[in-house]
Amino acid sequence: MLNTQLPTTRYNTTTYPLLEERADGAPIPIAYGNIHEIMPTCIDTAAQTYKLAGHAIHAIDEIRTDDETLALTADYTVDLALAQFSILETPHLAANTTYYLVIESDYAESGTDHLHLKQFGATYANGSLFTIDDSAVWSADAAHDLRFQIYGKTALDGQEKCKVKNNVGTATNVGLKDAAARTRLAQSFKTGANGFYATRVNVWISKSGAPTGNLRVSILSAYAGGEVVVGAKSTLREIDLMGTCRFFFPLRSEVSNLSCDIEGIEKSGAPIVDGADMLEDLVVTRLGKAAAILDPTALADFKTNRAQVVKAYIDRDMTFGEILGKLEASLMFKLVPLHDGTYAPTVYAADTVEVRPHFFDEHYLSFSMRRNFGAVKSITKVRYEENPTNQEFKAATVSSNIAKFVYGISDTLDVETYLADDAEAAALAASYSGMYATPPLEVTFEIRGYGLNLVPGKDKVKLTRTNAAYAGGALSGVLFRIVKLTKKPGTVSTEIVCVLDTQTY
C-alpha cells in the first residue's frame, strides 16, 4: 500500500486525442481542499476544454487569464463531475440567419441614473428592436431599430470587416434599465451570404444621470422557449463617457495562461478539508482498499483532534507513503498498523487510563538511556499552502532560544505540509519547535517474552528503575512511548525503544 503510486490515472492521446502536447503521459491530479493558482490541462484544443483533476470536484471558484477573470456561463461552462471546464468559443454566425444582439448592464434600475442607446426609426429591414423586461419577457418594437455595427472575420486569424450594420437615420434614444420594462435591450439582425466569427459590436450610448457599472453584449440564436447564447459573451465594458461603444468578443487564441481556483474532492456535499477525510478518501477511493482497514474509533478520534484545514494538489508521481508522511507531518499523527490488520491514525493523547505495562528493575535484561542530540533543532520552518503552478510554499518559522543558547545548535527543521492556514502553520511550527528544543530522552531495554502485543507509535510503557539518568538518579513510574519494538525468537525476548512521552506526538 505504501509503495502504490498516486495519481493512478494519466493523460494520453487515446482518451484525449486533442490533448495539449506537454501533458501526454502526465498524471491526472488528485485535489483536496481549496486550491488556488492551478494551471489546467487542455484536453481538447479545438473545443478549448480543460481538465483539473481525475475525479469529481466540489466547485470551480474562479478562472483567470492573463488580464481578466472569466465569468461562468458568459465565458465558460463547467462539468464538475469530470473536473472540466470549456472556454466558450468566439461566436460563429451562420450565413443568412437571424440572430439577436442583447445589451445588458449591472447597474440598478433607475429612472434618473441610467443609459440611453441610440435608435433610429424602422430603418433596418432585417430585424427590429426588442425590449426585455425584468421577467425576461421579450417585446418587439417594430417601429425602431438600434444603431449598431457588427464586425467579424471569416477566419479567426483573418481580417476584421463590418458584416452587418444599421447606421443611417435620425437618432432618438431608448432607455436601458430606466424601467422594469427595459431591463435589457435587443436588436435582431440577419447575416449575409457568408458566415463569420463575430469579433466586435458597436452601439451608441449616452448617459442620463450618473449610472455606474459595466455593460456586456451577447449574441443569441433564439429567445422564444429559452434564450440560446452563441459562443462567448463580449468582454465587460465599464460605463464611462460612452459615445461609440465597442464590445469585443474574446478570440480563442487569446485565452492563455489560465489559472484556476477550485474546491477539490467532496464528501457529503462539501469539499474535503480535513486530514481524516483526506486519509479515508486516499485509502478507500484512490487506493481501493476496504474502509474497514481504517480503525473507526481511531479515525473518529483523529477527525476530532486534528481539525486543521488541509489542501493538496497531487499532480506529480508520489507514493502513498510519501503522501502519508507529509500528511502525518502536517497533522502530527501516525498511521499505526495494528495486529489485526487494520490501521489506526493515532494522535497524541494525554495519559488518562492505566492500560499499559509497568516495568520494574527485575524485568530488565538490559537497560540503557540516550539523549538524542541530533534531534535538536534551533529553527523550525513549516512550509504550507503550496502553489501548484510553481511548487512554491509559504513558510511559518519559529526560532528556539533554548536550542540555540543552551545546546549551541543552529540547525533547521524543514517540514513540508499540506496545511492551508497561516495561524495553523504557525501553531504547528511552535509545536515542533518546543518538541525539538531539547534532546529527546530515549530508553532501550530488553525484557523476556514477545512484547505483550505492544504497538510502536501507539502504546506506552511506565518505567521504574532504581538507577537511571533521570532527575534524582532514578525512574519512578515515568511514562514513555514506544517507538520501536524488536521481537527476538532466538532468545525469547523483546527489545523496546521508547521516548519520554512528553517529547513525542
Partner 1 sequence: MTFNPALTLQDLVWLAEIEPARRLEAAAWTVGDSGFTDCYYVAHPEGEPSRVKQCLKSTGVILTYTERASLALCQSNASSWYWDAANSRLYAHTSTGADPSGGLFLINSYFWELVADRQVDLNGSPYRPLLDPSSIGDLSFEATQFSTGGIAQSFGAVRVLNDDHYWDARLAAYVYEGKRIVVRFGAYGDAYASYVKLFDGYAGGTTWEDGAVTFEAEDPRRFQE
Q: Name the site residues for partner 1 (rule: CB under 8 A).
A: 367-374, 376, 399, 401-402, 404-409, 439, 467-474
Nearer to partner 1, 439 or 457 (CB): 439
Rounded Cα–Cα distance for residues 313 and 462 (Å)? 42
3-state DSSP call for residue 331? helix
- Closer CB to partner 1, residue 162 or residue 474? 474
Q: Which residues of 174-186 are buried (b: 16+ CB within 10 A; e: fewer)?
A: bbbbbeeebbbbb
**CB of residue 378 to partner 1, shortest distance in Å:** 10
Identify the CA nearest to 74 among candidates 204, 233, 181, 213: 233
- CB distance 462 to 477 below 8 Å: yes
Least distance (Å) from partner 1 to the CB of residue 9?
43
3-state DSSP assignment of residue 93: strand
Cβ distance to partner 1 smaller for residue 35 or 468: 468
**Cα-flanking dihedrals φ and ψ of residue 21, to 5°?**
-60, -40
Distance of CA 493 to the CA centre of its chain: 51
CA–CA gap between residue 171 and residue 167 (Å, rounded):
10
Kindly tell me which of 338 and 402 has the beta carbon lying closer to partner 1.
Answer: 402
Least distance (Å) between residue 503 CB and partner 1: 14
Half-sphere exposure of 169 (CA within 13 A, CB side): 20
Please, which residue, 10 or 404, has the CB nearer to partner 1?
Answer: 404
Least distance from partner 1 to the Cβ atom of residue 410, Å: 8
CB of 328 to partner 1, least distance (A): 25
Is the distance from CB of 357 to CB of 481 less than 8 angstroms? no
For 348-368, give one letter per residue: b (16+ CB within 10 A) or e. Answer: eeeeeeeebeebeeebbeebe
Query: Residue 242 or 369: which CB sits closer to partner 1?
Result: 369
Would you say 96 or 467 has its CB closer to partner 1? 467
333, β-bridge pairs:
347
At its nearest, how many Å lie between partner 1 and the CB of residue 364?
A: 10
Beta carbon of residue 441, minimum distance to partner 1 (angstroms, whole number): 9
